[in-house]
DNA sequence: ATGAACCTTCCAGTACAGTGGAAGGTCAAG
DNA sequence: CTTGACCTTCCACTGTACTGGAAGGTTCAT
């Protein structure tokens, strides 16, 4: 399978696939006599895994770690469990932070809807913020 | 006031202040005979505004817009109101997205805590993701 | 034989908000 | 007079996940 076909099969671009190879997410593909990359069918599964990992909020660096462990013949299970747990804690923190920010902004916005521009003093930039 | 003193007074760094000037967030400071920047006292307030704007989740580009309007002698009130409203909508969308992602990951994590590594097939990278 | 569609490498750029470091100028204290 | 703290400019780099484009090679159909 050539790179364009693989890109189409996995819903991505040839640019991205070359970028993944360069980033160590894909093992360098075999080459045809022409120099074209020639992918085995299992590449589709590997790229699917990358996409699912991304959808689960893992970074490419984390996905690369998992793939490396798999390549060393080990099962990356406990590592994946840890990564997911970590990601869960991060998400909770992030959501809490955004919720606080949302309340702050909602307050500012409510003030901005109420106060009249005339009450702005010259010395400050904007009394709403 | 020299740049180091202003940095200390506002809880930032000289690097950042020069970066703000270059980015058009601060009007270029007066210079002493030595070439050193010499800030007026109101610079503290302006940098405070930048920080409050950031704390409200505005980007430097948005803060710059507000400051430009103020510099043109206009009151940026309605613009600020719009920016805050927009930011509020963005935040709501972002929080909803993260909440969905959180549930997906919580599910994966629960599976990962339950299933045994032996059930991993060789053909897939990781049955948890 | 020629044009389209595909592939190759390499270099550079995107957005965001800074940070790091080199090479050199200025000022006050000892 | 020199040391140290401070300042100047300029250039490059951080991290994330790609994207764009140039210059050139390959394959296949017409």
Give the residue-averaged pLDDT of B61-65: 91
pLDDT at A57: 84
Dihedral angle computed from the Cα positions of residues B36, B40, B41 and B44, in that order, rounded to the nearest 10 degrees: -70
Q: What is the pLDDT of residues B86-120, one digit of tens each?
A: 888 888 988 988 898 888 888 888 887 776 666 66
DSSP state letters, A45-90? HHHHHHHHHHHTT--HHHHHHHHHHHHTT---HHHHHHHHHHHHHH
**Which is nearest to A24 in space by CA: A57, A46, A52?**
A46
Q: Say whether the CB atom of B3 is under 7 angstroms from strand D.
A: yes
Compute the radius of gyration of chain A from its Cα atoms. Answer: 24
Ramachandran angles phi, psi of B108, nearest 5°: -60, -40
pLDDT at B86: 86
Question: Can you give the distance from the CA of residue B127 to the C1' of nucleotide D26 in angstroms?
Answer: 40
- Whether residue A49 lies within 8 A of chain B, CB to CB, comes out as yes
Give the residue-averaged pLDDT of B65-86: 84
Q: What is the pLDDT of residues B2-51, one digit of tens each?
A: 999 999 999 999 999 999 999 999 999 999 999 999 999 999 999 999 99
* Bridge partners for A31 per DSSP: A37
Strand C nucleotides within a 7 Å radius of protein CB atoms: 6-9, 16-20, 25-27
Position A49 confidence tier, pLDDT thresholds 50, 70, 90: very high
Please report residues of B whose CB lies closer than 8 A to that of A25: none
Do the Cβ atoms of A126 and B85 come within 8 Å? no
Question: Can you give the distance from the CA of residue B12 to the C1' of nucleotide C21 in angstroms?
Answer: 19
Q: Say whether the CB atom of B19 is under 7 angstroms from strand C.
A: yes
User: Is A82:A69 a contact under the CB 8 Å cutoff?
Assistant: no
CA angle A90, A93, A97 (to 5 degrees): 135
Most confident of A33-47, B74-88, B104-118: A33-47
Ramachandran angles phi, psi of A50, nearest 5°: -60, -45
């Amino acid at each position: 399978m050539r790179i364009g076909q693989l890109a189409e099969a996995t819903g991505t671009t040839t640019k991205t696939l070359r970028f993944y190879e360069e980033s160590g997410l894909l093992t360098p593909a075999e080459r045809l006599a022409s120099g074209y990359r020639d992918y085995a069918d299992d590449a589709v599964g590997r790229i699917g895994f990358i996409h699912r990992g991304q959808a689960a909020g893992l970074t490419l660096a984390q996905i690369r770690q998992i793939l490396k462990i798999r390549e060393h013949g080990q099962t990356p299970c406990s590592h994946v469990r840890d990564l997911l747990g970590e990601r869960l804690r991060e998400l909770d923190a992030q959501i809490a932070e955004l919720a606080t920010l949302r309340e702050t902004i909602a307050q500012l916005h409510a003030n901005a809807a109420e106060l009249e521009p005339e009450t702005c003093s010259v010395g400050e930039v904007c009394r709403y913020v």
